[in-house]
Amino acid sequence: MPISIVVGGQYGSEGKGKVALEMVRRDPSTTIVVRPGGTNSGHTGYSTSGERIILRQLPTAAIDGRAQVVFPAGSYIDVDLLHREMERVSLPRSRVAIDPRAHLIRPEHVVWEREGDLVNSIGSTGSGTGGAVIARVARYATNQPLGMSASDSEALQPFLADTAELMASALQTGDRILIEGTQGFGLSVLHSHAWPKCTSRDTTAAGFLSEAGLSPMQVDKIVLVLRCHPIRVAGDSGPLNGETTWQAIAEKAGVTSDIREYTSVTQRLRRVGQFDPVVVRRAIQANAPTELVLNHLDYVDPQVRLGSFSKKARDFVQHVEQSVGAKVSEVGTDEKTLRPIAAVFA
C-alpha cells in the first residue's frame, strides 16, 4: 500500500513539479496524484512534446493526463483557475476528483490578503489561499471572511467524490499514490525559523499527508527536493542566508545566458542565495526523506547540461552531501532532466 510524497527542502521553487512528473512517468503503478494546499505556488513541467507548462491548481504530475487527480479535504480550490488549467492540459473532467470537504478560494479571500498588506509585508502572492485557510478555521466568526466548502459549490458538483474511499481502494489494489507537496520546509507556518515571513500552512511531508487524509503507515517514499542556490520571493519575504545576485552566480559558473528567475505567480524577480545547509538539515530531521534530489546543478557548471560532470560539479555535490549529512540520489541538470548520482561520479 505505497504512498510517495514530494516535499521541498528550502523555500520553495526547488523543482518539485519536475520531480513529481518524472516519478509518475517512471512508475505506471502510480494511478493517483494528490495536490493539497492552494494556488499560491506554481509548479513547472514539460509535456512529452516539450511544451513548458506552469500550473498553480493542478499538480504538475497531471500534465500527461494518465493519473487520476485528487484534491483532498485539505485542498483550497479556485474554481475558475481549475477550469482554465484543465483546459490548458486537456484534462477530462473524469480525471478530477474533489473531496466535498475541500474549501474554495473566494474573491473576498483575495481582498482580505491584499487589504491586509500581506503582499508587501511578507511577500505573499495574494492568491487568496491564506485568506481561505483563515476563513476555514474561523468558521462563522463574523469579523473574518466566510469560508465555503466544495460541497456548497454548484460549479464543483460534477467533480465531487469520496476521495478517502477512492484512495483507500487504490492502495488496497496495490496502486501507488503520489502527493505533490507545495512550497518548501523553510516556509512552514509551524516550523519556519522566519515566522511570520512564511506561508499559511505546514509544508512538511506530515502536513501534506494530513491534508490528504492518509496514514503515515502507508508511506514508503519521501523525496526531498533541493536546489543548489535557494531562492525566496521578491520583497520583504524573510531572511536568506548568503544572499547574492543572479549575476554573481552566473559569473562564477561561467554561464553566459540569462539565468534570472521570476516567480511563476507574481512574475517578480526572485531573491537568490548560496547553498545553506542549516535549513536543509532541519528539513531532513522533520521529513526523514528516503531520497534527495538536487536541482539546478547547471547553475554550478553549465556543462552538466551535456552530461559532462567536471570536478567543480562533483565537488559541489559532495559539499552538499557532507554539509547536510545525507546522500544525493539524483541531480537536475536542466529544467527537464534528472540524472542518477552514479552519472556524476562515473
Listed residue (164, 181, 161, 182) closest to 218, CA to CA: 164
End-to-end CA distance of the chain: 35
pLDDT for 110: 86
pLDDT class of 61 with cuts at 50, 70, 90: confident
Q: Find the DSSP H helices in the chain.
A: 16-26, 79-88, 107-115, 118-122, 129-138, 163-172, 205-212, 246-253, 277-287, 311-324, 341-344
Nearest by Cα to 228 from 269, 272, 290, 193: 272
Q: Is the dihedral of CA 34, 40, 41, 43 positive or negative?
A: positive
Average pLDDT value for the chain = 94
Region 89-93: what's the mean pLDDT? 96
- The grid coordinates of residue 10 equal 528550502
For residue 283, the enclosing domain spans 3-344
Identify the CA nearest to 214 among candidates 183, 184, 172: 172
pLDDT in tens, 238-254: 999 999 999 999 999 99
| Residue 262 to residue 241: CA distance in whole angstroms | 19
* C-alpha 67, offset from chain centre: 18
Number of domains observed in the structure of the chain: 1
Reported confidence tier of residue 1, pLDDT bands at 50, 70, 90 = low
Global pTM value: 0.95
User: pLDDT by residue (tens digit) across 118-146?
Assistant: 776 666 677 889 999 999 999 988 888 89
The phi, psi pair for 59, rounded to 5°, reads -70, 145
Determine the pLDDT at residue 324: 98
- Written as one string, the DSSP assignment of 275-297 is --HHHHHHHHHHH--SEEEEE-G
pLDDT of residue 144: 86
CATH number of the domain to which 46 belongs: 3.40.440.10
Over 70: is that where the pLDDT of 80 sits? Answer: yes
pLDDT of 202 above 90: yes
d(CA 13, CA 231): 7
